[in-house]
Amino acid sequence: MSANIQFKSYNTGISTIFPIELEEIIPVSSPVRLINSIVDGLKLDKVIETYKGGGTTAYHPRVLLKVVFYAYMNNVYSCRRIADLLGRDFHYMWLTGGQTPSFSTINRFRSEHLKDVVNNLFVQVVMKLVEAGQLSLDVQYIDGTKIESVANRYTFVWRKTTDRNRARLESRIRGILSQIDEGIAQDNSPIEETAALDSSTLQSIIDELNERRDRKEGASKKEQREEARRIRELEKAREKLAEYEDRQELLGDRNSYSKTDTDATFMHMKEDAMRNGQTKPGYNVQISTENQYITVYDFFPNPTDTLTLPSYLETGLSLLGRLPNIVCADSGYGSEQNYELMEQMGIEAYVKYNWFHKEQHRPYADDAFRQENLYYNEADDYYVCPMGQHMEHVGRYNTTNDNGYTSTIDRYRAANCEGCPLRGQCFSARGNRTIAVNHKLNAYRRKARERLLSDEGLRHRSRRPIEPEAVFGQIKYDKQYRRFRHRGLDKVRMDFALLAMSFNLQKLFKNMAKAA
């Protein structure tokens, strides 16, 4: 005997699927209500100033900002996808009051109206978190990661190649000029062999050559053809020279850029699917976090973190109007310049340096031959080698990094290492052992070591891996934000700022839900 199965009745052609009021089906604890409340409290004067006025009525920027925040919170970054959801998802309908802006309107809002004022909105969101007791802004955990650009991976322009090709082109131009009538060349291009050519100088030479050719009479047809050929070669060379000049201007201080995103620099990425070390166009993204909220962000063209900190701290000061009391970062930031800068700014630095962790192990501490373990007599300025021989000061030189910061290095040398029974263990170079010492950096490292090994230092060191590193992990894997979707630094910065704000609001919602 079969069971008495009951099915719910349904009608495919019903005219309504929602109650009259969407309020009835939006839970009080829904994140969409939090976004609505936060955005209603933001000042949008600077956004409104970007509107020109005239024409038809525009969608209010407050409505569009709510939609974009909620979309980014739910990993929706495509304007077409957002526009589609506006007509199908009742959360979006509730936010917009039933309005359905097109994908082009949403894209124009992001690219034109938010691009130059997004930092102001980001700061307002951060201050809302401070008011909510989620942030103090006293401490910053800093780290960086490289995120790939949307640019084509094979449209690279390298500085070394550009410089080499330009030098070859200039050499060829000089060869052509040397073949032209010497009088014309001297009258119109008084350029030394060592002087650099540029496209404007070459254009003036070409103009003078054309005028001289028009005035010249009595030359044979062969001579005229030959001179015309050389002038054509110079014109083609001038176009190529102008191209190299444009490339060098775009390069600036960088070693490369992409033709399809000239602000992107080629870097090695952690996400290397082919495992061949291929460089890809991207940006070095630096962030500060506190309680896993993003408090500061910035972008840099260099792949390493060491040189970014001075500019990054200035960015944080300009955004928040204040500097943190405490900075915690990994060894990538532990340079002499960075330690000195943070000390001058009154920042308590819990920043590691190279070899910090190795110093804590016995093999490092027991290695009497390491330069760091040699005894130093500060009063008489000499080191003592493992055999008890004095290593006297023999010289000093300066080094300058890419930021223009100058470090002083002192050199010490043993008097006589010949026949020393420990020589094979001590060093393997010829002559007497010479060491290079940066006393200033060593002093900063000693201060950093004391801080890092203190109870407060242990607390910050244990906290740092779950601050910016965890945030980057959530951005790349939970938020599926592994590659930028826009070209150009301005648009990339805008998009990441929107992501950071939506990320902070999502974190706020989760924390509020836990506390409830």
Comparing 185 with 147, the larger pLDDT belongs to: 147
Compute the distance between CA of residue 89 and CA of residue 86 in angstroms, rounded to an integer. 6
pLDDT digits (tens, 9 = 90+) for 38-69: 999 999 999 999 988 777 788 899 999 999 99
- What's the sign of the alpha-carbon dihedral 260, 262, 265, 271? negative
Q: What is the mean pLDDT of residues 132-149?
A: 94
When the pLDDT of each residue in the chain is averaged and rounded to a whole number, the result is: 88
Write the DSSP symbol of residue 359. Answer: H
Compute the distance between CA of residue 242 and CA of residue 224 in angstroms, rounded to an integer. 27
pLDDT at 471 over 90: yes
Single-letter amino acid, residue 16? T
pLDDT digits (tens, 9 = 90+) for 165-193: 999 999 898 888 887 755 454 444 444 45
Query: What's the pTM value of the predicted model, to 2 decimals?
Result: 0.87
Compute the distance between CA of residue 119 and CA of residue 294 in angstroms, rounded to an integer. 13
Compute the distance between CA of residue 269 and CA of residue 145 in angstroms, rounded to an integer. 9
Sequence-distant (≥ 6) Cβ neighbours of residue 184 within 8 angstroms: 208, 209, 212
Write the DSSP symbol of residue 304. Answer: S
Confidence of residue 2 (pLDDT cuts 50, 70, 90): low
Instruction: Please count the other Cβ atoms lying within 10 Å of the Cβ belonging to residue 226.
Output: 14
Compute the distance between CA of residue 205 and CA of residue 232 in angstroms, rounded to an integer. 12
The ranges assigned to domains in the chain are: 22-135, 157-258, 372-440
